[in-house]
Structure 1
């Protein structure tokens, strides 16, 4: 297709306006519904105006499709094709980032078109931020065009305007009408959980596809969340007399080509979200939408990433439905109800909000903004996720240690230093967070995740085959033993093996060390850096090499067997699948793991058996004195632990007991965690009396009502015992009551201020209960005859609990005089018949108090 042969598509109506605003403003946002030709017509029109155009697409499938339709060049990772028109090239956003890192000025490019920006892929957001920086500092002539299939252009216009608002060009679509058919399951199905999708829903989707084939003409495009679900539904559709194509990110090129070409007969295309936009599947008149998609999730605390199945947003559902009306009127069958549709989120969450940000942080660090402050991003990176990413980069050696006295910042919020935004300010920012190292720059240009790039650079071309395995999503049926997967790829003749071999060649070139690094044991290491070498391995050389690659890439996932599972260096427990050969290993290097929703244990997806030598190579071993309060695994009661411990991350390798060390901090930790002390009734009574004195009189009586208060004063009342104690048992035998008496101020006497007992008129010495807010005296009523006034302790009146002869409360009063006057008569009337042997005088004030019964007559 040449520029003089631009197809008659709706986008042509706005081309003059678009060319004009780009010439005048150097930036524009183009909104156009699916099928209007923005992806293929606009680049050719720009080239026809004498401009050299670079088109960035979010997916490889879209790159190949757009380039094929335009007859232009394209570049994806590991593959480059030269087309007929040299003025237009289509690349993935990942390739665009690589070019920007190599050549910030983008020499030879006049216009960069970021297609499908509404999808909010992290690479696309990052690339746009870098391009805006380039335009503002190096290339004011660079034209930027963001295109979107949605009408919400305001955020992009503000971003591209650089303080103003960039022009928005809107193309009216002539999309054909799409009828909506609601087709929810007849019976409730379980919601998605992690990556699990209820088989009943997949069976229902297959049924709806059959229904669509019977009720409508044309090809059917069916959206499913992942390759596994696609394969299962494809199996259910076998024998339907139609061609079934499976399209996902790992689909072979021949399948992608077949999807983008008209079929000889009716087809069913089962696809993930890769088919939502950016390409037209010819012949499609029907869309069947499962309503599900996969999104990344990252457990930053454990260093684990996974994909989860989620409900699509309404915007995504509309995008999917639009596939049916690209070429003619169509129909969308939605496998959910209208009520469920109303509850869908308006838009999907941007990838920057949910993804692992290690690669993003490395790109930003190479750009000179390690904390991403100052980058023109629609959404800032979450501070916790960015902080975790920067820590990972430090561990991988991609960032230098932060400059002394310059605390790292992650995610903004602090005042900007003087000079921010200038070269000097950016240098200050980089120093504060740790400037990118030479090795970090090589890692950024390797085209794989920084973790894998670290292993590739450290071990050299020999690691390329294993890194290539880990840089792609492995086949669904792949073994959990990565060495077995590796050998299968070597033997295989399938599409995965072909892509793997192509990636191996690319990575081997990327791993070849430049002149400023030294090589040893087949590994390339930055000059002056640590030199990792291959260990003996857990068996054959394949195991040793694969284990070393995985251990260097994921050091926190080095794991040693413990009980029925494995403890990773990060401190997370992991378990292989039941029956796995890996379960019998002593050490593992875990390449792929996830944590099922609601589980504290990680699930090992792919790993390699290694030995301790490789584990020590990947994870620094520390030796330190450990004095603390330790609860043994599976135990409930802790005790003092004083050991010299050798650790590999969270994995304890060995320990030796330590003598003659101060264990007071450990004992105090035990007191805080478990109490430990034996609290007798006497000890509790002393504590309550001391607490009452503080409430009633204040200083110098100390606060002891709460356990926290007592711990704060432990140096006073427990000092002798703490000095002598070495273990839990020594604290359990402490006389707590005697120890607490050390808290009585030197100028006071506890028995004088808060006596343990009070003498009542009968001559009995009755214990006072100080546990409540007011001291309580519980005594039989007959023992108080003649006691007119309620006694006080430290100025606080006693609360008198008057007891029956059987010891049961009959009245509670803080004013005895009032009780004798107003309450005694009713008590006497009620109880004198029940307890006739006890005195019940008419005048209790003149009667003799007694603790005995009446004499027999």
Structure 2
């Protein structure tokens, strides 16, 4: 074996584990921890004969397979004999296999089947810093196993970049740090010029290959399979002329194609990889790393009810990991395709998945483990209560757990046996029961993998987008069948099909079908007479919270359970059905209108399916409510699924009492606006408000929204329309809420009108917070020595004194002062303009002039 930096430290590692039965090992990239530590534990005899096997957990399938293969090569073992691997849909182990490399989900299912981990003496959690939700779940479950059942169980946590303190405290384990074998890596930066990332990666690769002093291979990081394919197409001409190989490496590739990228070649190679090549995997010969700086991270997609991949900037820790790939075997270089200043804005570490992904699968696992309330489970790092609540709600809707007790139902147990999200497991179970398991597996694969229907406009020679169907899933499955018939050859199938994505869906379908039928895991019902309908009903059971109702026939918009608006994309073939499932709803904030969920994949729903499959959520009722468009109360017979109205029809006559109640319920929230739209009521309320401010001892009511709502409710008695209520004697109803003493005080101390010396009665305005206002012609006040006072004499009325043209000539609450001072200037200004009106020298002794009167000459 090639010596590695960790080799001299292996006795120290083994001794620490022998003494503590646990260890947190932090070893730099290139140290050799992944392939050297697990065999060393076996060689040291730390595992007894009762539990002789060791399990190494890897967060990725490709890393698990590659780790097992490398250990086999280093130890001259046979893969599948002394060492093997177990990943989803693939296993290579035998009865003699003591060292097993597995993904965390495999171990989780083993723990549920055998909590004591019979035969397993040690578990090594490698690359713990990646912190998948399965990793967090595994370390918490393993701690419980060791504390409750297996104190002899050895637990080792390994990582290259890890804050060791939290996990060390969680496991009560010592920490050991080991330096790695690292060669210098020269890091350079190249700011974006605005061109697409695959173009920039291809240009950087060509430049690296042309460098005369760099004979090594190139590893380039891109965020996804599509970007990898685009970069590979751009590099094809250079590869042909330069004699180097361009090899993709991502999780959706078949295992044999992944192996090609990892094996040495007899010529230079360029590996175009996603972030699966950041850790664990060693690709010998790499001297140059091209880092695009982006990755796709799993995050919860509440709209679709599954996890989604979001494009985002990597963390500084990931950037360092990527750069280190160039210095594993010799000095190297890393070209970062971003400006150096942008590095400061990158997060130190990637956030753990437990904070950002759907937790339904984890919650179901905990229910099966016996933790009836996952919120109280001793997580390594607890997720947010909101995410756990969403997971619990979904499990109840899928019928996976019993309400109240939290016990796993038989359906939930079947779901646990399938290596897919609980929604898709429910789809498979339902499809098997309906006798359409093949279609169910195909649909589950379609919904879990990348959509192979290309998202662009009409393509010459492609199938017409105007196709009508009851389900976009059925349309895609027809396209998939067509692609398979021609061997996925691009020139012979529909031009809107992405052949790579279609192949991935077909592989996933076959894997799921084998998993369902392995050991008769899912009982199948009689073959469906209408398989398409069986599939549509199975989809409903998997997505019961995605039912939407079209707003009108032919309208692409609708409303979904929960109240969200949805809009079917033009390429959706579901054009006629009133009810449909919004299977891949996506938020789109680009438009100027209200935020709607955009739906490319929809599937029709029959109301009768809702009633038969979800009787507790389907309701029929007769309601009485205000028709806002007509302003009248109507009766309706309504069918409802949860909060979604499916159908409503008029019932004819309405009981008067129910009509009044419905009218009151509709108008009460608008009571302040409705009451104040009545001029008399508004004026009356202003008088009460004035008196409340200035005579608080009268204890007048405030007439807030609740008081006015009660008044409106009384006004609705015997009424059927809003107009009838508005014509009601609102003031009388308001007055009924005052005592006789309060009514008398209101009339005396906040009168509606005041009689002036001319004998006329003028309305007083009590608007706002200022004093009451009386607007009156100046001549009508002759002989009045001073302005009246209201509110038990506490507030003087503010007089707006009007000229003969009824325009204000003075505003005052001190009439006595006005007569002796300002009046004479007003008289001088207006007497010649209005000679027919009275302008006495002493207005205090002059007779008043009635409104509109003229002085006779």
* TM-score, normalised with respect to structure 1: 0.83
Local SS of the residue matching 1:723: coil
C-alpha separation in 2, matches of 1:818 and 1:378: 83
Structure 2 stretches of 5 or more lacking a match? 48-52, 73-82, 455-470, 489-502
- The aligned residue for residue 353 of structure 2 is 351
Local SS of the residue matching 1:627: strand
C-alpha separation in 1, matches of 2:839 and 2:285: 106
- The aligned residue for residue 441 of structure 2 is 468
1:32·1:149 contact (CA, 8 Å) conserved in 2?
Answer: yes
- Match 1:643 to one of 610, 616, 636: 636
- The aligned residue for residue 553 of structure 1 is 542
- The aligned residue for residue 728 of structure 2 is 734
Encode CA deviations 1:519-539: one digit per residue, 9 max, x unaligned.
7546xxxxxxxxxxx6x7xxx
Encode CA deviations 1:59-105: one digit per residue, 9 max, x unaligned.
11111111111122100112110279722101111111111111111
C-alpha separation in 2, matches of 1:227 and 1:365: 35
C-alpha displacement of 1:694: 3.5
- Match 1:507 to one of 512, 516, 523: 516
- Match 1:210 to one of 206, 211, 216: 206
Encode CA deviations 1:273-294: one digit per residue, 9 max, x unaligned.
2222221223322222222222
C-alpha displacement of 1:108: 1.1
Distance 1:44 1:768, change over 3 A: same
C-alpha separation in 2, matches of 1:441 and 1:101: 10
Distance 1:512 1:807, change over 3 A: same
2:838·2:855 contact (CA, 8 Å) conserved in 1?
Answer: no
2:23·2:175 contact (CA, 8 Å) conserved in 1?
Answer: yes
C-alpha separation in 2, matches of 1:358 and 1:644: 37
- The aligned residue for residue 472 of structure 2 is 481
Encode CA deviations 1:497-529: one digit per residue, 9 max, x unaligned.
344323311122266358xxxx7546xxxxxxx
- The aligned residue for residue 775 of structure 1 is 772
- The aligned residue for residue 219 of structure 1 is 217
2:299·2:358 contact (CA, 8 Å) conserved in 1?
Answer: yes
2:549·2:646 contact (CA, 8 Å) conserved in 1?
Answer: no
1:98·1:447 contact (CA, 8 Å) conserved in 2?
Answer: no
C-alpha displacement of 1:305: 5.1
C-alpha displacement of 1:346: 2.1
2:574·2:604 contact (CA, 8 Å) conserved in 1?
Answer: yes
1:604 aligns with 2:599: yes
- The aligned residue for residue 80 of structure 1 is 91
1:839·1:853 contact (CA, 8 Å) conserved in 2?
Answer: no
C-alpha separation in 1, matches of 2:69 and 2:142: 26
1:55 aligns with 2:30: no
1:40 aligns with 2:35: yes
Query: Aligned pairs, how many?
Result: 780
C-alpha separation in 2, matches of 1:764 and 1:778: 12
C-alpha separation in 1, matches of 2:167 and 2:220: 31
- Match 1:435 to one of 391, 401, 407: 407
2:232·2:246 contact (CA, 8 Å) conserved in 1?
Answer: yes
C-alpha displacement of 1:350: 1.8
- Match 1:117 to one of 128, 131, 134: 128
- The aligned residue for residue 667 of structure 1 is 663
- Match 1:171 to one of 167, 172, 178: 178
C-alpha separation in 1, matches of 2:203 and 2:839: 91
- Match 1:17 to one of 12, 32, 54: 12
- Match 2:316 to one of 314, 317, 320: 314
Greater shift in the superposed pair: 658-667 or 448-457: 658-667
C-alpha separation in 2, matches of 1:831 and 1:370: 91
Local SS of the residue matching 2:34: coil
C-alpha separation in 1, matches of 2:694 and 2:602: 67
Local SS of the residue matching 1:394: helix
C-alpha separation in 2, matches of 1:314 and 1:825: 86
1:62·1:279 contact (CA, 8 Å) conserved in 2?
Answer: yes
C-alpha displacement of 1:842: 7.0
Greater shift in the superposed pair: 482-491 or 383-392: 482-491
- Match 2:569 to one of 577, 589, 603: 577
Encode CA deviations 1:421-478: one digit per residue, 9 max, x unaligned.
xxxxxxxxxx3xx322233223222222222222333443745434434257434424
Local SS of the residue matching 1:237: helix
C-alpha displacement of 1:177: 2.2
1:623 aligns with 2:614: no
1:759 aligns with 2:764: no
2:220·2:272 contact (CA, 8 Å) conserved in 1?
Answer: yes
Question: What does 1:697-846 correspond to in 2, within 5 Å?
Answer: 697-698=695-696, 702-711=700-709, 713-714=710-711, 718-719=713-714, 721-747=715-741, 748-749=743-744, 750-773=746-769, 774-795=771-792, 796-805=794-803, 806-809=805-808, 811-817=810-816, 845=844
Distance 1:786 1:553, change over 3 A: same
Distance 1:686 1:108, change over 3 A: same
Q: Which has the larger radius of gyration?
A: 2
C-alpha separation in 2, matches of 1:276 and 1:89: 22
2:686·2:767 contact (CA, 8 Å) conserved in 1?
Answer: yes
C-alpha separation in 2, matches of 1:742 and 1:840: 47
- The aligned residue for residue 90 of structure 1 is 101
Encode CA deviations 1:226-269: one digit per residue, 9 max, x unaligned.
22333333333332214332322211212210111123333332
- The aligned residue for residue 30 of structure 1 is 25
C-alpha separation in 2, matches of 1:580 and 1:607: 7
Local SS of the residue matching 2:33: coil
C-alpha separation in 2, matches of 1:699 and 1:648: 55
C-alpha displacement of 1:137: 0.8
- The aligned residue for residue 692 of structure 1 is 690
Structure 1 stretches of 5 or more lacking a match? 188-198, 403-430, 523-533
- The aligned residue for residue 451 of structure 1 is 423
Measured on the aligned residues, the alpha-carbon RMSD in Å equals: 3.4
Distance 1:338 1:612, change over 3 A: same
Distance 1:616 1:273, change over 3 A: farther
Distance 1:460 1:686, change over 3 A: same
C-alpha separation in 2, matches of 1:832 and 1:348: 88
- The aligned residue for residue 593 of structure 1 is 585
Question: What does 1:110-509 correspond to in 2, within 5 Å?
Answer: 110-161=121-172, 166-187=173-194, 200-215=196-211, 217-241=215-239, 242-298=244-300, 300=302, 303=305, 306-402=308-404, 431=405, 434-460=406-432, 462-469=435-442, 470-471=444-445, 473-478=448-453, 481-487=472-478, 491=484, 495-496=503-504, 497-509=506-518
- The aligned residue for residue 193 of structure 1 is none
C-alpha separation in 1, matches of 2:612 and 2:269: 53
Distance 1:648 1:151, change over 3 A: closer
C-alpha separation in 2, matches of 1:305 and 1:835: 85
